Amino acid sequence: MLRLKHLPIDTGKENIVFIHKRCPEFQTEDSNMTANRVEIHGGLQPLFASVYICEDETLVKPDEIALTDQAFHLISMPEGSEVAISPAPPPASIDSVRRKINGGILSAKEYRSIIADLAAYRYTPIELAAFLVSNASFMSPQEVLSMTEALIEYRRPADWGIDLVVDEHCIGGIPANRTTMIVVPIAIAYGLCMPSTMTRSVTSCSGAADAMEVLANVELSEEETAATVNEIGGCMVLDGQRLAMSATEDLLMSLERALGISTPQQIVASILSSKIAMGITHLLVDIPVGKTAKIRNMSEAMSLRKLFEYVGDMLSIKIDVIVTDGSEPVGNGIGPVLEARDVMKVLRCREDAPQDLREKALFMAGKVLEFDPQLRGGQGYYQARDILDSGRALEVMSQIVHAQGKQTPPPLGQLTRDITAETSGIISEIDGQILNRIAMTAGAPADKGAGIDLLKKVGDEVEQGEVLYRIYACKPTSFAFANGLAEGDCGYKIMSSGVTY
Amino acid sequence: MLRLKHLPIDTGKENIVFIHKRCPEFQTEDSNMTANRVEIHGGLQPLFASVYICEDETLVKPDEIALTDQAFHLISMPEGSEVAISPAPPPASIDSVRRKINGGILSAKEYRSIIADLAAYRYTPIELAAFLVSNASFMSPQEVLSMTEALIEYRRPADWGIDLVVDEHCIGGIPANRTTMIVVPIAIAYGLCMPSTMTRSVTSCSGAADAMEVLANVELSEEETAATVNEIGGCMVLDGQRLAMSATEDLLMSLERALGISTPQQIVASILSSKIAMGITHLLVDIPVGKTAKIRNMSEAMSLRKLFEYVGDMLSIKIDVIVTDGSEPVGNGIGPVLEARDVMKVLRCREDAPQDLREKALFMAGKVLEFDPQLRGGQGYYQARDILDSGRALEVMSQIVHAQGKQTPPPLGQLTRDITAETSGIISEIDGQILNRIAMTAGAPADKGAGIDLLKKVGDEVEQGEVLYRIYACKPTSFAFANGLAEGDCGYKIMSSGVTY
């Protein structure tokens, strides 16, 4: 038996423990394949952890086992408790991952085993990365369904007691595009139930949750979420169960973030499992298509649509897929604070509100309203516009913000830099990926006030020296890096207006 | 500036450092994408490391940075030295890895950048895993060539001053099969220069180096290797430069081991770069084909052959590929000590030497000898047999062992268990993968005396209850696990001898 010790080290999502070199219970040469992974017994269930061997008794004595923050939190036992350890074999489902790497197609049972092992922390981050990347290269529709079902098994599906529960999801990949924060208040004002779950950014400078968090608390418990939905008819929150659950998807997401990959197949599995767990019956999926968006062309968009429809049908969730223009950012602000600002301008029907954001949100809200069988086909858009223009959507937004917990919006970054046009002409292209990278380098989404404010969009005429956009940053280093990036390639293409044909 | 501290923690090949939560030089919210990776300045070159944040001042004070073993070893500065840190952006070449994950074909330049970043430790283990797995799903021949060339750039190719320098390599995947240790002495006795480099097991219970290490030291420096080759005409050692170099391949290999993957394409790149660095001009490649071998059928073997030939031709190394029977283990012993025993029996021409191992080694040695333009085609085998039967190969083996440093062979495992036939009949199949797993579970290759001794091979008649093989283990836990595995599936198929047609 070893005595439990807590070492206050933050190792992120990894269960890491320290064992002394002369620990009698653990010998590195015990079994070369499993030497660095142990099972710790004594808590409610065995805890899997990676082992670092150390020689410093101030860290860990030979009769101790030192758990870093995450592992100590999970084992939920006081320091000094006695625990036993045993070498942990690699999880059996790793064989399936290997098969997948070699081009195999996995069965539903294999996905279930993998997700079960993930949920029990039996995968090392490296093995998890292997699973993620092997899936990224190819997944059959049946595999996507299997993975979705496996993820749902770890959830407790919400039941709102009604037949029509709507939500929408955008595949993203283009900056800004904060339609959800406008669609939800409209749908609720119309009378639909729309318990919307959002995510923080995975591979971009801002996710819907990052922008919403500028205005309101988004980290609600399951109970708080239910209370908000029952009171108002909807919410805009982080997936509460996902926060509470055994971190499988969190782990997958943090890895996706670390690797900068998120493939359509894994998006379908992750989105649908999360929406179904939230009790959603009707889902609008927006696929923006553009040269620098996540989905590059119509053919990719069509396969993704069919994949959503196939998995949705099998899991009895009604899915409506729309394909939209993803050739440039929607709205002007890029980064949490700037995006929240645009949303509020639209909700307040301000004259300087970005019209592209308003129109796209109305189009989508119209589609969501038309999930209502009572509504005459084609009337959704007009209903949505009336609700927005009457101020009822703004009122609902204010109810949501108060129910979830109003936040004082953080200030915009104090460090600003104007990026200007090098030549005169007409803006022909805006590269969303470059703007995204500049905004991230400027500090978004961690620095909520960092980002980019677009002053010109595609089709606008500019004079040489006119401002194209403004960079906002909160920290000098980030600011300098972002400026450097923008100086290298500002992301805009300007076509001389005197085109010769 | 921060003061350097050494924390005696073994984190394997990972550069890990600890920084205090209140360290003024490092704020986690600095830049969410790069928060956990820093560049440490002050040594000969910047050191890249992953950061764990901790709150315990006994571990690291706010004005200190604590380096674990590997990082401290690499930075080569005394404790108390002053160093500066800066956030390290993800390596630029990660974009190429992402492209590869999405099915792209990488250029030679991209492979060079990736390998350069790997060599500078700019990849986290997770990113490295992503690179490995993305390559595992598909590599074009041109990509394999690019990766091979990129790996060679990090080597200092040996030059032995002669035109004919031979070696052989077996793709492996079937247990035992320790032909190299017989081929090398024969080739040297014949008069060829054969500086053979071996590897430890990557995904199996024993590599050639693990077996050779039973008899002699295999970890020679570059100078010691050169001295041995100049004195005797060859050697059987671990790739010395690989030991000394910046651990790129070591890192890749340890990951391959962790993930249990090793694909033909990465084998070609790794093997050829290593052999070319060793100054090899003529290489014999053995591809065993069998249902449970690494290469399953002739069509796979043919593509691998063509890949070896293509990359070999482009890099001016002459390659002769043979395809051999990989349907069952070659030799009787599986595991380092047992394999070394079989090899010595063959070299001593003992009557109880495994005939299949002797014949395969003679066949391969014959092919190697025929690299000599002076030798008449078809005479290689007979020459090899004469050399073996005359005892000259044994004599050379003894010279090699003494030159490299004789080792006292570790004893065989004391814990043994006989696995017996459940029915009478003729052995129709032996599953190499199952035997491999049992031998690994029994402790091989870390416990050199652990493994399996085969008493029956395919085609042998057995009576019910007759011993098929014996498990050897050194530690009770490993022994129990291995027995459990063998009881579940012993890996032998026995066909009733009264077959009805």
- The pLDDT tens digits for A311-358 are 999 999 999 999 999 989 999 999 999 999 999 999 999 999 999 999
Coil, helix or strand at residue A414:
coil
pLDDT tens for B80-115 read: 999 999 878 778 898 899 888 878 899 999 999 998
Look at residues A340, A398, A323, A330 and name the one whose alpha carbon lies nearest to residue A208.
A340
If one compares B446 and A32, the residue with the highest pLDDT of the two is B446
**Rounded Cα distance, B12 and B41, in Å:** 22
Q: Is residue B261 pLDDT above 70, yes or no?
A: no
Partners of residue A136 in chain B, C-beta under 8 Å = 101-102, 134
Q: How confident is the model at residue A500 (pLDDT cuts 50, 70, 90)?
A: low
What is the rounded CA–CA span in Å between residue A102 and residue B282?
Answer: 31
pLDDT band at B11 (very low <50, low <70, confident <90, very high): confident
Provide, as residue numbers in chain A, all residues whose Cβ is less than 8 Å from the Cβ of B58.
Answer: 58
What is chain B's alpha carbon radius of gyration, rounded to the nearest angstrom? Answer: 25
pLDDT above 60 (res B245):
no
Which pair of structure tokens corresponds to residue B466?
């007759």
- Taking alpha carbons only, the member of A209, A217, A212, A222 closest to residue A160 is A222
Question: Concatenated DSSP letters for B141-159?
Answer: HHHHHHHHHHHHTTS----
CB proximity B260 to A under 8 Å: yes
Could you say which of B56, B90, B440 has the minimum Cβ distance to residue A33?
Answer: B440
Nearest Cβ partner of A8 from B55, B259, B441? Answer: B55
What pLDDT is stored for residue B32 in this prediction? 41
Three-state SS at A466: coil
Burial class of residue A473, CB neighbours in 10 A (0-12, 13-18, 19+):
buried
Cα dist from A118 to A16, A91, B255, whole Å:
16, 9, 19
Q: Looking at the complex, does the CB of residue B416 fall below 8 Å from at least one CB of chain A? A: no
Separation CA B489–CA B491 (nearest Å): 6
Q: Distances in Å between the alpha carbon of B134 and those of B33, B101, B474?
A: 22, 5, 38
Question: Greatest CA separation found in chain B?
Answer: 83
Q: Tell me the chain B residues in contact with residue A55 when contact means C-beta distances shorter than 8 Å.
A: 8-9
For B261, the closest chain A residue by CA position comes to A98
Tokens matching residue A212: 């919403």
pLDDT tier at B133 (50, 70, 90 boundaries)?
confident
Q: Taking CB atoms and an 8 Å cut-off, how many pairs form between chains A and B? A: 147
Q: What is the pTM of this model?
A: 0.76
Measured CA to CA, the distance from residue A108 to residue B225 in angstroms comes to 52
Judged by CB atoms within 8 Å, which residues 274-333 of B form the interface with A? none
Tell me which residue in B8, B58, B137 faces A54 most closely, judged by beta carbons: B8
A129 interfacial to chain B (CB closer than 8 Å):
yes
What confidence tier does B244 reach under pLDDT thresholds 50, 70, 90? very low
Sort A126 into a burial class: Cβ within 10 Å, 0-12 / 13-18 / 19+. Answer: buried
Candidates B15, B25, B33, partner chain A, best to mutate (most A CBs within 10 A) = B33
Tell me the C-alpha distance between A134 and A103, whole Å. 8
Angstrom distance (rounded) from CA B429 to CA A455: 73
How much helix, strand and coil, in percent to the nearest 5, is found in chain A? Answer: 40, 20, 40
Burial of B497 (0-12, 13-18, 19+ CB in 10 A): exposed
For residue A97, the chain B residues in CB contact (below 8 A) are 259
What is the per-residue DSSP string for B221-253? Answer: -HHHHHHHHHHHSEEEEE-HHHHHS-SHHHHHH
- For residue B299, what are the contacts with CB-CB under 8 A and spacing of at least 6? none
Q: What is the pLDDT of residue A448?
A: 94
Mutate to test the interface with A, among B20, B25, B31 (most CBs of A within 10 A): B31
pLDDT tens for residues A359-379?
999 999 999 999 999 999 899
Please tell me the distance from the alpha carbon of residue A182 to that of residue A355, in angstroms, as a whole number.
13
pLDDT bin (cut points 50, 70, 90) of residue A137 is confident
Smallest Cα distance from B133 to chain A, Å: 6
Strand (E) positions, A411-466?
A: 415-420, 425-430, 451-454, 461-462
Residue B241 confidence (pLDDT): 58
CB atoms within 10 A of CB A374: 7
In chain B, which residue's Cα lies nearest the Cα of A125? B126
- HEC string for A91-146: CCCHHHHHHHHCCCCCCHHHHHHHHHHHHCCCCCHHHHHHHHHHHHHCCCHHHHHH
Element (H, E) at A324: strand A318-325
CA–CA dist B96, B111 (Å, integer): 8
Chain A CA closest to residue B50:
A11
Q: Does A477 touch chain B (CB under 8 A)?
A: yes
Lowest mean pLDDT among A31-35, A387-391, B271-275: A31-35
d(CA B355, CA B346): 8
Which tokens is B492 given? 């032998």
Angle value at C-alpha B132, between B130 and B135, nearest 5 degrees = 105
User: Other C-beta atoms within 10 Å of B183: how many?
Assistant: 31
- Say what the pLDDT of residue B418 is: 97
Average pLDDT over residues B346-364: 97
- pLDDT-based confidence at residue B473 (cuts at 50, 70, 90): very high
**Would the pLDDT of B35 be above 80?**
no
User: Is pLDDT of B150 > 80?
Assistant: yes
Positive or negative, the CA dihedral B119, B123, B128, B134 is: negative
Among B133, B258, B441, the residue with its CB nearest the CB of A134 is: B133
Please give the share of chain A, as a percent, with pLDDT higher than 70.
Answer: 92
Is A92 in the B-facing interface, judged by CB distances under 8 Å? no
Question: Nearest CB to B7: which of A21, A56, A136?
Answer: A56
| Closest to A444 measured CA to CA, from A169, A214, A218, A255 | A214
* Weakest mean pLDDT among A119-133, A476-490, B174-188: A119-133
Does the pLDDT of residue B298 top 60, yes or no? yes
Residues 6+ apart with CB under 8 A from A398: none
DSSP one-letter string for B460-477: -EE-TT-EEEEEEESSHH
Picking from A25, A34, A126 by the largest number of B CB atoms within 10 A of its own CB, the best residue to mutate is: A126
Contact A179, A361 (CB under 8 A): yes
For the cut 60, the answer to whether the pLDDT of residue A247 exceeds it is no
Of residues A172, A175, A199, the one with CA closest to residue A264: A172
A488 interfacial to chain B (CB closer than 8 Å): no
Distance CA B307, CA A164 (A): 58
Largest CA distance in chain A: 83
Contact B256, B395 (CB under 8 A): no
Distance in angstroms (rounded) separating the CA atoms of residues A210 and A409: 12
| DSSP string for B432-444 | HHHHHHHHHHTTT
Contact flag B129-A134 (C-beta cutoff 8 Å): no
Instruction: Give every strand in the sheet of A333-334, ordered side by side.
Output: A333-334, A451-454, A467-473, A415-420
Pair of tokens at residue B418 = 């006989």
Residue B415: which H helix or E strand, with range?
strand B415-420
Alpha helices in B36-192 (DSSP H): 69-75, 94-101, 108-119, 125-137, 141-152, 180-190
Q: What is the pLDDT of residue B499?
A: 58
Mean pLDDT of B334-356: 97
Distance CA B136, CA B128 (A): 12
Residue A489 touches chain B, beta carbons under 8 Å: no
